[in-house]
Amino acid sequence: MRSNPRTRLRRKTARAGFFNRRACVACAFLAFSLAVVHYRGDIPTLFPGISRESEPKLPNGSILFSAFSGNTCRQSLIDNATGQIRDNGFVDCDAEKAQTAEKWTKQMAKQRQTAIRDSFVNK
């Protein structure tokens, strides 16, 4: 018994429609995944109400490129939140090193106090 050509055609178009819908969903999911990966650094700025208390707040850092002669260094600033490095221009090496050492000492003292205090808390 031969099947009706119209029925066969309807089955083929229904099957093609199913695969087309599945392909569209797969492409949309892939596009969404790529967008999330590409813009992952901007996601926390979209939702400012969400706070991450468990992550330690790291200070922003700087890189000093000292010259072979003279007291002028080139400084680059590191933003730990985004991972970007920006140029800050030329600065006085001695003053910047003293300021950085002072900030670092204060930050380490705070972290040390927090670590000591947390060691007495029963978790």
**Could you give the CA distance from residue 77 to residue 59 in angstroms, rounded to a whole number?**
11
pLDDT in tens, 56-80: 455 577 788 887 777 888 888 888 7
Q: Does pLDDT of 54 surpass 50? A: no
DSSP 58: P
Q: DSSP secondary-structure letter at 3? A: P
Domain residue extents for the chain: 5-38, 61-119
Whole-model pTM: value is: 0.38
Over residues 11-35, the pLDDT tens digits come to: 666 666 667 788 888 989 999 988 8
From residue 51, how far is each of 11, 43, 45, 48, 83 by CA, in Å? 53, 12, 11, 7, 19
Phi, psi of 55 (to 5 degrees): -85, 135
